[in-house]
Structure 1
């Protein structure tokens, strides 16, 4: 049973205030409802021993929520917004909270082993020292938090790794080119986690997974999406987008606003397909400018509608200008193709 109380009197360690709300996790909790509307989507996450601290990022605010005994649970509870419509999965909450000891990776073993993909735990040995992409465009202040808790300000050419948390400040944006030629843009006041990206061109196999907590985003899928249906996935707190080779714009919105996803035509005029799904249902979109607006993780995505360009611009702003162009084919690849043709 979850117990909610409040802390009164002196502060109880880092981040605790006299007005902190306190929830106590126990083994019977599959999820916890976090007070204060969409606070769980916007808050900073921090480990305090066995406890999880959610704190307001605003410097003049002392609003916070403490979830006691959160990290001692065998299965970390999901965190819901106060109206129950949006979800931060337990493994994502653990990732956002960072390592138990800065500079180390021990927190991954428990929390990420619970992931249905097991992405970071199973891929970490491959990720050590091996980047999976590069920052191509930056406007304003954007930060990457590594798996060991190290915080790096992004600039053009900054390397990107599996497990990075990408955060953009107000008025800021970032465009990333990944090793499989996927390009991804995140707009202002956004936050996302790069869960996984593995690609083997020789075997034509791969998998990529991105988790957008908040913000406007856009992407053009690369080689991984061509290896199989839903080999590339993008999650928000209310939906999962299974990508089947295409260009997409989306918005992970705060509580009370719908999460939007729009299928866009590719640069060559072609149109791919995506499957937008959650616990209640799935919609497959395969027509240019089809859009669905989903307000809850537990309500099926509605039938998509085709929007005019003016509405798409209103939904996503200038995110398309942040999206890096697709990389040019490598000369070596072209030479290999030519050689194969001659041998054939």
Structure 2
């Protein structure tokens, strides 16, 4: 004897809903309230991040007098944006342009190479079995817990002995290591890169390096974009390491140069205009990188190819 579940009657369900609408209306109110709360939290978070950027834009349009005599979150009587940016780019023979290019070199090259090395290391730790793998991963994971400021002075002493202090290499080489990036790539590769894809590539005659570059990197695209952006923002905003390593002003990144300008505002008030204009120009590359790369977070090209 088989038991069958009674079939649901849609007419009866509609009748019951019409007779007792309290349950459905209460659920609708709870859903609407939760949406309002979540939207409100997101709005507050967006304002928290956007208000400082808005203030920088407004401040960059003001003269030194308007910066202190007018309301901080609104424009002054005259807009001096083009004049301020022109002064920033022309001051001291265009030293700001040199700082800007230095930051692009440090952040761009450092972020690309650090992302590649993190992907290669994370992929190897996730997909290959060898003795001491967990020990290596645990040691690297411990590097996530060490703040960068704690390693700045030992790195300076090391680079001084090697003759690399006060050079581009003293800032660029430490930027090539990303323990967090390797940790993220290792976890992501272990979850998304299927062993059957690798075996199929090996059967087709592909070597391990080719499998990594043609299969692994494509699947790791969302993780790579995340690591790249974290590393790009971290290097671009890095202040303490260049402060320790560099003495030549022509080697400064944009953070160290702007702080050098800000330190002179008490003696020369016109440096307020230079500093606010320089800060506005400094955030543009990060905004462009975020807008261009955010679409890659939706997923890799081959993610989900194997079920």
TM-score, scaled relative to structure 1: 0.18
Which structure carries more strand by proportion?
Answer: 1
TM-score, scaled relative to structure 2: 0.19
Q: Which of 1 and 2 has greater Rg? A: 2
Which structure carries more helix by proportion?
Answer: 2
